[in-house]
Structure 1
C-alpha cells in the first residue's frame, strides 16, 4: 500500500499542510470557555489528512472527554501519540484502520510527525485554558476573601450589639414566668418568646464563629470521642427521619491539634445539613481517616445533591436553600471559617450514585 508516484506523495504533503493550517486557525479562533467544537474540528481535519482517509478513524482523548471522527472497527491497527500539558500526561491522539485490510506498516512517517505536531499544539491550547481557569479562580477567591473580611468586621459588631438585648429578653422572660405560674396561656407565650430568643442567640454565636471573635483553644486531642459524642447527640434527629448512619475510624485513636468546640461545631453543622437534605430511610456515612500528613473527614448523604448553579455560593454567608425560618445561611460559612483557621480544606463532590460528599482535611501541625 505504498505510494506509487511523486504526484501521490505531493498530494499527501498538501493534505498534511492543509491540516496544519486548519488546526492553527481552529486554535487561534477557539473559545477557551467551550473547546469541544475546536477538538471536533481538529479530529475531522486530521482524518482528512490521512492517506486512506475514507477508511481511517481518529480518536482524541482529553481527560474524561473522547472526541472521534470516522467509524472505529472492532479490530484495528493504530498509532498513538500522547498529549501533555505542562509536561504532564493529559490525553492522546489515535489514528487507526481496520485490521482486516491494513497492517502496521500502512502509516507514513509524515503522518506520525503530523500527529506529534498536533499533540504539541493541542497541549499548548490546554495550557492556555488551564492558566485562564486558574486566574479566574484566583480572582474569585480574592474577591470572596475581600467580601468576607468586610462582612467579618460588620458581623462582629452586630454580634456584640445583639447579645445584650437577647440576654435581657431571656432574663426578664424567666422572671415573668414566676409571676404567671397559674396562667398557662401566658406561660406558653413566654416559652415562645424564650425559644425565639434562644434561636437568635444561636445565630449570634454563629456570627461570632464566622467573624473569628471567639478565641480558639487549640490542643492536641484524640478526636474520635469528640466526633462520636457529637454524632450521638444527633440520634433523635436521625430517628425522626428513620435514617441510618455509619461512623467509622481508620484507627482507634486519631490525634489532632484542634479547638474541640469548633470541631464539634463543624461536625454538627455538616451532619445536620446531611440529615435535613436526606430522604426518609436514607443513610449518612461519616468516615475519619488518619493519613500520614493529615486527617481526612468524609461526610456523605443520599440527598438531592448540590447543583452546579449553586455550588460556588454554598460557603457564602447568609446563603441558604432552606425555607425562611429553617436556616440562617451561616452554617457552611462558619464551617469554612473554622476549617480555614485550622489551616485545613473543605470541598464537596457528588456522592455516587446520589447525594453529596463533603471532604475535610486537617493537617497534622
Structure 2
C-alpha cells in the first residue's frame, strides 16, 4: 500500500467492520449466538487488505465458526477472546501461506482484530450474565413455590388428621360390637384405608417439615449399608450392579435416623426404578471440612428439561398410575430441608441422573 487513497480505503473498511460488528452485537439473539459469530467472521473477512483471499476462524466456548476456505496452515493474525478476564477462545484471520507472509498484514489490522475480540468477549459475558440471572430467577421461583406448597400441605395434613382419627377410632369400636363376619371385614377395609390415608398425611407433614425429629449424632455408613441390604432383592430382580465409594467409614452427622433412612431408601429406590436392566447404580459419599455429600447416580433416561423444576413437588410423578403417589421426592426434600441440608439433581454422563444431598458437618 503506497498511496494516501489506498490507506483511506483501508481505514474506511476497518471502521465499517467495527460499525457492523457493533450492530450485530447490539441486535444479537442470545439463543442464536452462533449466527451472530458467523456474521462477525464475514465482517472481518471483508475488512482485510486482500479480502478476496482472507479467511477467518473463530472459536469461543461451545461455539466454533469459520469462513468457507479457512485452513489451519494459513499465515494468520491471532487475538485471544477473554470472558471475565479469562481466555475462552480466539479469533484468527489468515492468508494462504503459499503466497503471503506475516509482513503482508497491516499494523492497523491487528488493532482491529483486538477490538473485535474484545467486543466478542463482552457479548459472551452478557450472555453468561443473562443465563445466570435466568437460573437464579427459576431457583427463586421454585423455592417460593415449594414454600407455598409446604404451607398448604401442612394445613391439609392438620385438617385431615382429626377426621381420619375419628374414622379409625369409631371403626375399631364397631368391630368390637358387631358379630357379622362380612360387616367386620368391611370395617377392616375401612380401617386399612384410614391407616393408608394417615400414612399419606405423615408424608405430607414430612414435606412441610412438621414432624417431630429425634436429632442425634449418627454414623452414616452403617445406615447406607443397611438400606442397600434392604434393597438387594430389588437390585437382583433387575440384575443391577450397585457400587459404593466412601471417603471414610467413620463419617458422622447430626440427623434423625428414621428420616435419614427414609431419604436414602427413597433415592436409591428411585434409581432402581428408573435404571435399565443390567446397568449400574453408584452411591458415593464425600466428606469435606464443611459438609457431607451423598451422590446417588443411575444410568436411566434422565430427567427431561421441562420437568426439572417439578421433581420435588408433592403429587408429581412420572410413574404409571398406581405405582407412585408422587410424594417420595417431596418428602425427601422436606426432610433434607429440616436438616438444614439441600438436594440437587443433574444429568449423569453419558446418560442417567445424579441426585446430590449435602448435609452440614457436626
Q: TM-score, normalised by structure 2?
A: 0.85
1:255 maps to 2:252 = yes
The change in CA–CA distance for 1:241 and 1:120 in structure 2 (over 3 A counts) is: same
Tell me the alpha carbon deviations over residues 103-140 of structure 1, each in whole angstroms, 9 at most, x when there is no partner.
Answer: 44444332222222122222222333333333333333
Q: How far apart in 2 are the matches of 1:306 and 1:69?
A: 38
Aligned 1:268-287 pairs, distance under 5 A: 268-287=265-284
Partner SS for 1:111: helix
Aligned residue pairs, count: 362
Post-superposition offset of 1:174: 7.1
Q: Which residue number corresponds to residue 38 of structure 2?
A: 40
Post-superposition offset of 1:192: 6.2
Q: How far apart in 2 are the matches of 1:161 and 1:268?
A: 28
Q: Which residue number corresponds to residue 313 of structure 1?
A: 310
Tell me the alpha carbon deviations over residues 194-245 of structure 1, each in whole angstroms, 9 at most, x when there is no partner.
Answer: 6654543332222111111123444333211111112222222223323221
The change in CA–CA distance for 1:33 and 1:343 in structure 2 (over 3 A counts) is: farther
1:71 maps to 2:63 = no
Aligned 1:1-365 pairs, distance under 5 A: 3-167=1-165, 196-364=193-361
Q: How far apart in 2 are the matches of 1:75 and 1:269?
A: 57
Q: Is the Cα–Cα contact under 8 Å of residues 57 and 70 in structure 1 kept in the other structure?
A: yes
Q: How far apart in 2 are the matches of 1:292 and 1:80?
A: 44
The change in CA–CA distance for 1:195 and 1:63 in structure 2 (over 3 A counts) is: farther
Post-superposition offset of 1:97: 4.1
Post-superposition offset of 1:160: 2.4
The change in CA–CA distance for 1:178 and 1:152 in structure 2 (over 3 A counts) is: same
Tell me the alpha carbon deviations over residues 143-186 of structure 1, each in whole angstroms, 9 at most, x when there is no partner.
Answer: 33333222222211221233344455566777888999997998
Q: Is the Cα–Cα contact under 8 Å of residues 59 and 69 in structure 1 kept in the other structure?
A: yes
Q: Is the Cα–Cα contact under 8 Å of residues 73 and 97 in structure 1 kept in the other structure?
A: no
Q: Which has the higher mean CA deviation after the structures are superposed, 347-356 or 329-338? A: 329-338
The change in CA–CA distance for 1:211 and 1:4 in structure 2 (over 3 A counts) is: same
Q: Is the Cα–Cα contact under 8 Å of residues 80 and 87 in structure 2 kept in the other structure?
A: yes
Partner SS for 1:92: strand
Q: Which has the higher mean CA deviation after the structures are superposed, 276-285 or 197-206? A: 197-206
Q: Structure 2, unaligned stretches of length 5 or more?
A: none
Q: Is the Cα–Cα contact under 8 Å of residues 301 and 357 in structure 1 kept in the other structure?
A: yes
Partner SS for 1:221: strand
Q: How far apart in 1 are the matches of 2:180 and 2:299?
A: 48
Partner SS for 2:216: strand
Partner SS for 1:83: strand
Partner SS for 2:82: strand
Q: TM-score, normalised by structure 1?
A: 0.85
Q: Is the Cα–Cα contact under 8 Å of residues 56 and 70 in structure 1 kept in the other structure?
A: no
Q: Is the Cα–Cα contact under 8 Å of residues 142 and 309 in structure 2 kept in the other structure?
A: no
Partner SS for 1:34: helix
Q: How far apart in 2 are the matches of 1:178 and 1:243?
A: 48
